[in-house]
Structures are given as structure tokens and as C-alpha cells.
Amino acid sequence: MAISHESIYMPSFTIGTDAYDRIGKVTGFFGEQAVIIGGATALEKVHAYLLPALAQQDIRVLEVVPYGGEATMESVASLVTNPFIQAGQMIFGVGGGRALDTAKLAADKTHKPFFAFPTTPSTGAAATAVATLYQEDGTFGGYFPVRRPAVHTFLHTPILMTAPWEHFRAGLATALSHLWAAQSQQALRNEMLTSFLQYGEQALTDFKNHTLSAAVEKAFIQIIIQAGMPTVFGRTADGEAAAREFSAQDLYHVVAGVPSIRQTTCFGEALALGLLLLTVRRRQEDVYRQLYAFYKKIGLPCSLADMAAPEVWAREIAAASREENESAAAAFQQALAELADKSKEQP
């Protein structure tokens, strides 16, 4: 049966050393008054760039509002009732994934246009049509769809280059997992995977050497913009299949509530390990070897033994998968064991 209509809002972006000089050209259609929402560290990082740029472009900042310190529904509710946010014409979200998701959902609930100013190349939150929230104790709270991703995202490359190298590496792992889930045609997916691994390694080297190269800029776009696009279109057949399995994202969410893990593990590292597990479960030996070689070069985990507190990981994962059903738990435990064995076999 044909649908009566479908609206798809594609992410758009500006990237460059002077990206903030273009803000007014984009936001001018929506008003002249904005409220900035972000984390303390991120706001300090952009202070010297963003506020002067807004002043030069006659964009009035009504207030700078902390996002709450954690991406929770309580933080969103507090923002929604903030009088400055209610009075503002636009919401500018500044920071990493949790700050952007919190600001994005608050903008959606108040029907304000949302613009993203990411400060770390580790997340695709700016371009996703969904917000990931957590409970107050840090455990996974759920996915909350929004009407559209950010109206526009401004990628200020000098700011992104100040992020820790480990965040950039985790961002590449995040983008890699989304690339894998988004492609339904195996030949095309494998071609994109090969290309990604080639420029990804160069990008990591350049980023570590503080060199803003074409490979680094390409990686920024892949991580921040393209990784979030599957949520705009909805799930592909492969995405549905991955959802029925214990997905790469689930691998992080089930252990995020454990303090020792949350404090020592980046989201992207868990996604990287989860992606390897999926290749083992699906018997994709060629892809496994490609990923394993790439992970080893850049220091991503190749088995639970490479994670901090591996015994805690094993316990939490087993419990979470068993909650789904016993057969899934058994299959997942088998995949974990195979992954450990394969890691020992590799040079």
C-alpha cells in the first residue's frame, strides 16, 4: 500500500576554518535571537570563536544555558521550561553527543529550529533524527525520535582538531559501525569499507600530528554527518537484521551503567568490538580480517581481553543477552568465545 506522504530532512553542513563566519547566512531565515545550550568544557572551547562570530553577524544571544551535565529526560524537561529557551527563536547546541542530543530534543519539544556546533569528532548526534538519553545513574534510557536532525551543522575544523586523539579514533569506530549497518548491498558496502579503512588510517596519523589534511576533513564529515544519516531514512534490511541481533550499540548500552566501565570506555570502542562480534556471528571472515588489521594498527579492542575489566564486561553482556532469550544468549556467548579464539590466532 502506497503511503500518502513522506518527508525526509537531509542533514546539511558547513565545514572549514572559517565555518562560523557563515552562520548568519544560514540562520538568517529563522530569526536573530538564539539561545546556546552546551556543556561547560565545550562552551569554554568555542567561546573565543563562536560569540565574536555571532556578534559580528548581528545574532543576539539571549542566554547561554548549561545542558545539565547528562543527557536525561530530566535535563530536557528543565530546558523546555527555561524562559530564555521559550523566548528564543533558535537553539544552538554546542558540545559532544550528549549535549547535542539533549539540546536537540529540547528544541524539538519547543518547536524551535536547532543548529549544531559539535566540538569533538566522536559522534554523529548532529545529523541524527533521534536523541539517545540515559538515566540519572548513567544506564541507557532509550532512543527518542525527533522530527528532523539539525537544520544545519557548523564544523569548525580548528575546534575539532583540539579534541583528544582517542575521541577521534572512537569517532571513526562509530562511523564504521553506522556505515556497516546502513548498506544493504554487500558489494557496495565492502567497497566503502575498503575506502574508509584506507583514508581512516591516514586521517588518524594526520590528526595525531596536528595536521588538518584532506583525509582528516573527510573523516570529520564521515563521523559527524554521514554516520547519522541512516536515522533520517529509517532502517534498511541490514539494519533490521542487526537490530534483531545483539547490536554494536547494545554492547555499550548494557554496560554503561557500570561505573568502572563508563569511566574507562569510549562509546566508539564498544561499537568497534560489537562490529567485530557481528562479523563473527555472520561468518564474514574477509571483513573480520580487514577490521582486525585496522583495529590493531590504531589500538581499537579486538576482544573482551582488550577492554578494561573484561570480566565485568562478560558478566554484564551475558546477563543482558539472556534477558532477550536463552537461544540468543547462547549464540552471543559462542560468538564471544570465537572472537577470543580468533584474536589469539591472528599475528
- Residue 84's pLDDT band (cuts 50, 70, 90): very high
Per-residue pLDDT at 301 exceeds 90: no
Answer yes or no: is 4 within a domain. no
Per-residue pLDDT at 289 exceeds 50: yes
Residues 200, 113: one domain?
A: no
Residues 172, 305: one domain?
A: yes
* Average pLDDT over every residue of 116-122: 95
Answer yes or no: is 6 within a domain. no
Per-residue pLDDT at 79 exceeds 90: yes
Query: Tell me: the pLDDT tens digits for 307-344?
Result: 766 676 667 666 655 555 455 556 666 777 777 777 77
Give the pLDDT confidence score for residue 245 in this predicted structure: 40
Q: Of residues 210 and 270, which shows the higher confidence score?
A: 210
Give the pLDDT confidence score for residue 61 in this predicted structure: 96
Residues 118, 170: one domain?
A: no
* Average pLDDT over every residue of 161-165: 94
CATH code of the domain covering residue 214: 1.20.1090.10
Which residue spans within the chain are E strands per DSSP?
Answer: 13-16, 33-38, 60-66, 90-95, 114-118, 130-134, 140-145, 152-156
CATH code of the domain covering residue 78: 3.40.50.1970
Residues 94, 35: one domain?
A: yes
Give the pLDDT confidence score for residue 327 in this predicted structure: 55
Answer yes or no: is 37 within a domain. yes
Q: Of residues 300 and 339, which shows the higher confidence score?
A: 300
Answer yes or no: is 197 within a domain. yes
Give the pLDDT confidence score for residue 284 in this predicted structure: 79
Residue ending a domain, among 118, 138, 160, is 160
Taking the C-alpha atoms of residue 271 and residue 227, their distance in angstroms, rounded to an integer, is 13
Give the pLDDT confidence score for residue 263 in this predicted structure: 57
Cell 558540545 appears where?
Answer: 95
Cell matching residue 130: 533521534
Give the pLDDT confidence score for residue 197 in this predicted structure: 81
Q: Of residues 229 and 261, which shows the higher confidence score?
A: 229
Residue 193 near residue 180 (C-beta atoms within 8 A): yes
154 forms beta bridges with 14
Give the pLDDT confidence score for residue 278 in this predicted structure: 78
Residue 172 near residue 219 (C-beta atoms within 8 A): yes
Domain total in the chain: 2
Residues 215, 152: one domain?
A: no
Residue ending a domain, among 160, 179, 204, is 160
Residue 110 near residue 90 (C-beta atoms within 8 A): no
Share above pLDDT 90 across residues of the chain, in percent, rounded to a whole number: 41
Residue 263 has, within 13 A of its CA and on its CB side, a CA count of 5
Answer yes or no: is 113 within a domain. yes
Residues 221, 292: one domain?
A: yes
Taking the C-alpha atoms of residue 158 and residue 207, their distance in angstroms, rounded to an integer, is 11
pTM of the model: 0.84
Give the pLDDT confidence score for residue 244 in this predicted structure: 35
Per-residue pLDDT at 260 exceeds 80: no
Residues 149, 184: one domain?
A: no
- What φ, ψ does residue 142 adopt, rounded to 5°? 135, 170
Residues 132, 197: one domain?
A: no
Query: Tell me: the pLDDT tens digits for 169-202?
Result: 988 888 887 766 555 445 545 666 777 788 888 9
Answer yes or no: is 290 within a domain. yes
* Average pLDDT over every residue of 227-239: 57
Residue 80 has, within 13 A of its CA and on its CB side, a CA count of 14
Answer yes or no: is 8 within a domain. no
Give the pLDDT confidence score for residue 246 in this predicted structure: 44
Give the pLDDT confidence score for residue 139 in this predicted structure: 76
Residue ending a domain, among 121, 141, 160, is 160
Residues 194, 306: one domain?
A: yes
Residue-range definition of the domain harbouring residue 92 = 13-160
Cell matching residue 223: 563521523
Per-residue pLDDT at 64 exceeds 70: yes
303 CB contacts (<8 Å, ≥6 apart)? 273, 276, 339, 340, 343
Taking the C-alpha atoms of residue 294 and residue 330, their distance in angstroms, rounded to an integer, is 28
DSSP string, 55-108: HHTT-EEEEEEE--SS--HHHHHHHHT-HHHHH-SEEEEEESHHHHHHHHHHHH
Residues 171, 281: one domain?
A: yes
b/e map 187-207, b = 16+ CB within 10 Å: eebeebbeebbebbbebbebb
Per-residue pLDDT at 282 exceeds 70: yes
> Average pLDDT over the chain, rounded to whole?
82
Residues 170, 155: one domain?
A: no
155 CB contacts (<8 Å, ≥6 apart)? 13, 14, 15, 16, 19, 118, 220, 221, 224, 225
- Residue 277's pLDDT band (cuts 50, 70, 90): confident
Answer yes or no: is 286 within a domain. yes
Residues 278, 307: one domain?
A: yes
